[in-house]
Amino acid sequence: MDQNLRIGMATREGTGGPAADAVATYRSALTGRTAVAVVDGMGHAEDVVRLAPLLAETAVRVGAMRGGLAGLLSAGLLLADPGPPDAVGVLAVTRADGSGAEVVWAGDCRAWHWDGVTLRQLTADHNLAAYLSRAAGADVPVTALADFVGVTLGSAVPATVPYVSVPASGLLLLTTDGVHDQMKTETLERLVREHADNPQVLADALVATAEPDTAGYRDDATALILASMSADR
């Protein structure tokens, strides 16, 4: 099944300093599973910029062998010493039988699924804005509340790491908040619709289209697209 996967990846540095986003992929010859991950380091200090690629690489290598939860928590062990740096991330691991993938996450990186008609957000952000929006039944119009992240890679434990199952058909998208918080969901869906047949072009378009905020700040932006998750598609 994994021989038929097509993966597109793109990262664009923001205006805040050296990029602390990272992306990684890994296929295990032993298990036949492929793992893909996107990590967003919190801040732009030297430590988190250096660690972000290690976190993503740890997540995919352990994830492809031991599953999504093990991969995400293993990455978190690199941040187990209390205090900064810290990061958030999302990890997807395909199933060896070709039936789809599992997605786990900590923080506000997101996973999306495109079925050819509709783009659906699979994950729920672990931040105060998302919590209050769910409680109120409507979006909370206070952007600053998104900065209050309740679950990070460094603080994640099995009980705080959600799991969702992804169908074998369609596209799986992983994005950092520099993508999905800096464009309208309608724009994101339009780009997916236009470039669904080319994962690399889609990833490039997502990070290029993310706009700065009203103060001119543009976050690091990273996107990963996983396509042809089923050979029977």
The CATH class that applies to domain 2-227 reads alpha beta
What pLDDT sits at residue 222? 98
What pLDDT sits at residue 84? 75
What pLDDT sits at residue 131? 57
What pLDDT sits at residue 80? 81
pTM summary value: 0.89
What pLDDT sits at residue 214? 81
Q: Where are the domains of the chain?
A: 2-227
How is the chain classified by DSSP, letter by letter?
-GGG-EEEEEEE--SSSS--EEEEEEE-TTT--EEEEEEEESS--HHHHHHHHHHHHHHHHHHHHH-HHHHHHHHHHTT-SSSS--EEEEEEEE-TTSS-EEEEEESS-EEEEE-SS-EEE-----BHHHHHHHHHTS----GGGGG-BS--TTT--GGG--EEEE-SSSEEEEE-HHHHTSS-HHHHHHHHHHHTT-HHHHHHHHHHHPPP-TTS----EEEEEEE---TT-
Q: Which residue ranges of the chain lie beneath pLDDT 70?
A: 1-3, 127-150, 229-233
What pLDDT sits at residue 215? 84
